[in-house]
Amino acid sequence: MGRSHRARLRPGTAAGRHRGSAGRALQRSRALGHPPPGPVGAREGGGGDRLPGQRRPLPVDRPLPPAVKILKTALDEVHKHASEGYPYEICGLLLGPPGGDRITEARRARNTVTDRAHDRYEIDPLDQIRIQREADAVGLDVLGYYHSHPDHPARASITDAERAWAGPVYVIVSCAQGEVVDGNAFLAEADGGPMRPVPMEVVA
């Protein structure tokens, strides 16, 4: 929690193997040194870059909802992903009807960090673009992101806050010995935090 670092791509990682125009765009953005806020980080740190086609999930001036609703099937998928991925951090996107606060789907994404995946994550940018496009095709929006904290509390770290966008919901689940033991939802009051917990209501 107290240490800081930046997740870096290494040859052989999922993100390091990007090819074509998307890969070249990622390399250019890294060369320019522009790591914008986004779905990266976790307990200690992270870096991140947007590729063409990535976008902020929700407007920065979106009113913060008093609570977040999530379908049980979506939360079950988050829990299943966290359990299957233990002892490593897992991550993904949360989808729902446009402009709403009701999460109806959880979609898995690859964690491109491989050297310390037990305590850091970075959503594969190509996965994010693909899921955004698939959501668009069925009339859904990306409402937020999720990730796990293996053997660590389900609370937003300083780095989680620093890398957060205002608008999206961030769901964090704690997983101990392969079992999810806690989960909480957070919203960033501004880009880069601070983050505050919000009630998470599970609905059928």
Collapse the DSSP code of 75 into the 3-class scheme (helix H, G, I; strand E, B; otherwise coil) and give the result: helix
In the chain, where do the E strands start and end? 40-41, 68-71, 91-96, 102-103, 105-109, 121-122, 141-150, 169-176, 179-188, 195-198, 200-203
Residues 46, 6: Cα–Cα separation, whole Å: 4
Collapse the DSSP code of 111 into the 3-class scheme (helix H, G, I; strand E, B; otherwise coil) and give the result: strand
Mean local confidence (pLDDT), 101-112: 96
- Structural domain spans, the chain: 15-203
Q: Helix (H) and strand (E) counts for the chain?
A: 4, 11
Residue 160 tokens read as: 């989680």
Residues 106, 134: Cα–Cα separation, whole Å: 13
pLDDT at 28: 39
Residue 52 clears pLDDT 90, i.e. is over it: no
15-203 is classed CATH 3.40.140.10: yes
Q: Could you report the per-residue pLDDT of 170-187, keeping only the tens digit for each?
A: 999 999 999 999 999 999
Q: Could you report the per-residue pLDDT of 116-156, keeping only the tens digit for each?
A: 999 889 999 999 999 999 999 999 999 999 999 999 999 99
Predicted confidence band of residue 66 (pLDDT cuts 50, 70, 90)? confident
Mean local confidence (pLDDT), 48-62: 52
Residues 7, 36: Cα–Cα separation, whole Å: 13
Residue 7 clears pLDDT 60, i.e. is over it: no
Question: Regarding beta strands 200-203 and 141-150, do their DSSP bridges make them parallel or antiparallel, or are they unpaired?
Answer: unpaired
Residues 155, 148: Cα–Cα separation, whole Å: 10
